[in-house]
Structure 1
Amino acid sequence: MTVTFIGLIMAAIGLLLLIRGSLAGMLAFLMLSGMMGGSAAIILTAVGGSSIPPAQFALAFIWLRMVIPGSRFLDSLGPAFKENLWLIVFVVYGLVIAYVGPRLFAGQINVTPLRFEGGDGGLFDTSPLMPTSQNMTASVYLIGALLTAVATYVACIYRGGANALVKTAVVIAWFHSITGIMGAVGRGTPIETFFTLLRNANYTQHNQAYEGFIRINGIFPEPSSWAAFAFSWFVFLAECWYRSIEPKATGRAALLLGLVMFFSTSSSAYVGLGGYALFFAARIALFPTLASHSRIKEAAIIGLAGAVLTAILLAALPAFTEAIGEMIDDMLFAKADSESGRQRLFWALQGLDSFVVSWGLGIGPGSFRSSSLATAIIGSCGVIGVVSFVAYLLAVFEPRRGSSWGASGSLAARLGGAAATAAVVSQIPSLVAAPSPVPTGEFAILAGAALALRRVKPRNMQQGGDGEADAGIEVEELPPLRRGWRISE
């Protein structure tokens, strides 16, 4: 086991927050750590070079903050686990089948493993199913997703948690966008060397250029993972803006992140943005009474401005706009007929084959590489995995609530609705790109926050074990996000 320089820096920050920080500060630390998607805090040389990413490392500190002697956060863990019951079922079954599945069905099916031992493997290469270190890695990440959701739940029911969630999301949007732009503009300069140093995890580094366009990947190993991370926070911020939660700050951050995603040349970004646009339009049509007229007006202005800008570019730079159009066409519509598209389809169909071979039990997380979250869950976790994960999505989103569809209810309810919508809608890119059934850390944070914020009920403030107030209070008593900037009705 080797602790990297990133791990040492994070350990110093985590210890400082552990001594002098709050649980809300720990939540911000956890969220910000997710931006280091290509980094490793600890490299496990004994497990095939697998690594512990910064987000998992930060998770340890937020849990230490909750269970440290003298803290009363332990009283909130029971309700937190109860609210995440369906995720517990999903994770526990995933752990069991990750151990049993590849042994019970060993050799009965050939699969493309998550990582080929002793070689990179061809486009359609497979090997007989057998237990691998990736089953262990996937199990650890499953546990991490559950612990992240529970920790976020606890943080958000205490004073400062909701504000930390929104404020940190805005910071993430700006930092993630700026580093993405810097990485693209600084290609071939010392900036690229610095970013390469930060991407110290044992991930495959892909070619970051397409037909003369420099692809955006920031500190992540590839544009698709950069875009998937960006899309989660883009949807959350856009939903906050739609519900008039600090609309200036959240709206600007979402707009910037959306623009950078558009130029990232990632098919995951285009699928996500397209899917969210359809969801946005359908929601307004189905629930017009829950839509803010000012938000609809602003969205129309943004759309009109985009159309005018496109027309100007077509007239002034026809060659450039034609190249952009061809790139989008190749990334979306022509991708299915490409070699990469056929490979992704082959990976996705493995999930269905695994489901049939395992009689609906699944062959275990980490047993094969997929290209879709849906087929990854079907093939890895079988019927129980599908039912528990869908049930968890419904528990998080709560479709019968007005706050799930628009600006309805108290501030806490609207913020919970924004997090719930983002948790579900952010899975759109995963449906066409996820290699395994493990939910992302961003999904776990948003889901945990949604479950917590919707349980907030006005009552007298109560003190936590370290002086932090319970979030079950009047909304106007929430502390400001920053000087002069406060979550407001």
Structure 2
Amino acid sequence: MTVTFIGIIMAAIGLLLLIRGSLAAMLAFLMLSGMMGGSAAIILSAIGGSSIPPAQFALAFVWLRMVIPGSRFLDSLGPAFRQNFWLIIFVVYGVAIGYVGPRLFAGEINVTPLRFSGAGGGLFDTAPLMPTSQNMTASVYLIGALLTAVATYVACMYRGGANALVKTAVVVAWVHALTGILGAVGRGTPIESFFELLRNANYTQHSQAYEGFIRINGIFPEPSSWSAFAFSWFVFLAECWYRSIEPKSTGRAALLLALVMFFSTSSSAYVGLGGYALFFAIRMSFFPNLASHSRIKEAIVIGLAGAVLTAILLAVLPSFTEAIGQMIDDMLFAKADSESGRQRLFWAMQGIDAFFMSWGLGIGPGSFRSSSLATAIIGSSGLIGVISFVAYLVIVFEPRRGSSWGAAGPMAARLGGAAATAAVVSQIPALVAAASPVPTSEFAILAGAALAFRRIGQPSNAATEVQGEVLAEAGMEEPAPIRRGWRVAD
């Protein structure tokens, strides 16, 4: 085990916050740590060079802050675990089948491992199923996702939680976008060397250029992972803006992330942005009364501005816009017929094969590489994994609530709706790119926050007294009385 220089710096910050900081500050620390997606705080050489990423390392300090003797947060742990019941089922079964599955079905199916130990590297290379260190790594990450959701739930139930979530998300958006831009324009300069120093985890570094375009990956190993992280916080900030929660800061940050994602040359970014645009349009059509008139006007203005800018670029720089269009076509539509597209389809179909071969039990998280969250869950955790994960998404989103679709109810409900929508919608890129069934830390943070804020908004709740403190600390006053039709006053 090797503690990296990043781990040493994070340990110093974590200890300082443990002594002098609040749980809300710890939540901010956890969120900011997620930006270092290509970094390692600790490298575990004994289990194949796997690493503990900064977000998982920061999570340990969050939990220390909650369980230290004399902590006032211990009483909230019980409700936090109960609210995340279906995620517990998903994780516990995933850990169990991750140990049993590769041993029970060893050699009965050939799969593409998450990490080849030999010299394999062909597009469709496979190896007989067997237990590997990746099963252990996936199990640790699954437990980390559960602990992240529970910790976020607790943090958002107390003073400063709302403030930390929203304002740190804005900071994350700006820093993530700017480091992505800086990494692209600084290619071939000392900036690139500095970013490579930060990307110290044992991840494969992919080509960062396409037909003359420099791809954006920031501190992440590849553009797709950079875009997936960006998309999660983009959706949350856009949903906050849509619900008039700090609309100036959240709206600007969301717009910046959207623009940088558009130029990232990542197919995951294009699928995510397209999927969210479709969701946004359908929601606004079916639930127009759940949006502020100001937000609708601003959305129309942004759409018209984008159309006008596109028209100007077509007239002034036709060759540039043609190259952009060709790039998007290659990344989205032509990719299915490419070698990469056929490889991803092959990886995804492994999950279906594993499901039937294992009689619906699954062969364990970490046993094979997928290219879709759906088939990764199907093949890894079987029927129980599918049911528990879908049930968790439904519990988080609560489709019967007005706040799930727009600006309805008090501030706590609107915050919960923004986080819930972001948690669910942010899975769009994972449906076409996720290599394993492990939920991301961003998903866990958003899901835990959604469950907490919605519990705060429930009447006759022990947390009701905390609600005023949470919103006041965040500088978010309750809106004017809600008019009929759930429309918040502009």
Counterpart of 2:130 in structure 1 is 130
In the other structure, the counterpart of 1:152 is: 152
Q: Which amino acid aligns with 1:394?
A: V
Aligned to 1:58: 58
CA distances 1:147-170 after superposition (whole Å, capped 9, x unpaired): 000000000000100110000000
Query: CA-to-partner distance for each residue in 1:392-448, whole Å, 9 max, x for gaps?
Result: 000000000000000000000000000000000000000000000000000000000
Q: Does 2:318 correspond to 1:318?
A: yes
Which amino acid is the alignment partner of residue 363 of structure 1? I
Question: Against the structure 1 CA distance between its residues 458 and 366, is the aligned structure 2 distance closer, same or farther, given a 3 Å change threshold?
Answer: closer
Query: After superposition, where does 1:243-282 map in structure 2 within 5 Å?
Result: 243-282=243-282
Aligned equivalent of 2:218: 218
Q: State the partner residue of 1:142.
A: 142
Q: Which runs of 4+ in 1 moved over 6 A?
A: 458-462
Change (3 A) 1:487 1:170: farther
1:423 aligns to what? 423
Determine helix, strand or coil for the equivalent of 1:478.
helix
User: 2: distance between equivalents of 1:487 and 1:107?
Assistant: 60
The answer to whether the 8 Å contact 1:31/1:168 transfers is yes
Contact (CA 8 Å) 1:246, 1:487: kept in 2 or not? Answer: no
Q: Following TM superposition, by how much is the alpha carbon of 1:120 offset from its aligned partner in structure 2, in angstroms? A: 4.4
1:374-393 paired onto structure 2 within 5 Å: 374-393=374-393
Structure 1: how far apart are the matches of 2:190 and 2:282? Answer: 46
Measure the CA separation in 2 of the matches of 1:26 and 1:120: 42
Q: Distance in 2 between matches of 1:302 and 1:113?
A: 44
Segments of 5+ residues of structure 1 without an aligned counterpart are 463-469
User: What amino acid maps onto 2:192 in structure 1?
Assistant: E
Whole-Å Cα distance in 2 between the matches of residues 472 and 424 of structure 1?
29
Task: Report the CA distance between 1:288 and its aligned residue.
Answer: 1.5
Name the aligned partner's letter for residue 297 of structure 2: K
Residue in 2 that maps onto 1:75 = 75
CA contact (8 A) 2:372 2:433 kept: yes
Structure 2, unmatched stretches of 5+, are 480-490
Report the counterpart of residue 402 of structure 1 in structure 2. 402
3-state secondary structure, aligned to 1:36: coil
Q: Percentage identity across aligned positions?
A: 84
Shift of 1:70: 1.0
The CA distance in 2 between the partners of 1:102 and 1:260, in whole Å, is 41
Residues of 2 paired with 1:443 and 1:148: CA distance?
9
C-alpha distance in 2, partners of 1:218/1:26?
A: 24
2:161–2:470 contact (8 Å) kept in structure 1: no
Which residue matches 1:180?
180
User: What amino acid is the match of 2:392?
Assistant: Y
**How far apart, CA to CA, are the structure 1 residues paired with 2:102 and 2:251?**
47
| Pairing of 1:465-480 with structure 2 (within 5 A) | 472-475=465-468, 478-480=471-473
Secondary structure class of the residue paired with 2:51: strand
Q: How far apart, CA to CA, are the structure 1 residues paired with 2:155 and 2:40?
A: 25
C-alpha deviation, 1:6, in angstroms: 0.2
Q: CA deviation at 1:457?
A: 4.0
Structure 1 pair 461–340 and aligned structure 2 pair: CA distance change class (3 A): closer
Please give the per-residue CA displacement for 1:267-308, whole angstroms capped at 9, x wherever unaligned. Answer: 000000000000000001111121221111100000000000
Q: Are the counterparts in 2 of residues 411 and 475 from structure 1 also a CA contact under 8 Å?
A: no
> Structure 1 residues 33-42 or 286-295, which shifts more?
286-295
CA distance in 1, matches of 2:464, 2:142: 28
- In the superposition, the TM-score normalised over structure 2's length comes to 0.96
Alignment-derived partner of residue 484 in structure 2:
none
Partner of 2:352: 352
Q: Give the Cα–Cα distance (whole angstroms) in 1 for the partners of residues 113 and 130 of structure 2.
A: 9
How many residue pairs match? The answer is 479
What is the TM-score normalised by the length of structure 1?
0.96
Distance verdict in 2 for CA 1:333–1:459, change over 3 Å:
closer
Q: Any conservation in 1 of the 2:410–2:478 contact (CA below 8 Å)? A: no
Shift, 1:459, TM fit: 8.5
State how far apart, in whole Å, the 2-side matches of 1:369 and 1:487 are.
47
For residue 115 of structure 1, give the secondary structure of its aligned residue in structure 2. Answer: coil
**3-state SS in 1 of match to 2:439:** coil
2:159 and 2:473 in contact (8 A); partners too = no
Q: Which residue of 2 aligns with 1:452?
A: 452
Q: Deviations over 1:178-198 (max 9, x none)?
A: 000000000000000000000
CA–CA distance in structure 2, aligned partners of residues 147 and 95 of structure 1: 14
**Cα distance between partner residues in 2 of 1:307 and 1:248:** 22
Residue aligned with 1:455, SS:
helix
Change (3 A) 1:215 1:120: farther
Residue in structure 1 matched with residue 25 of structure 2 by the alignment: 25
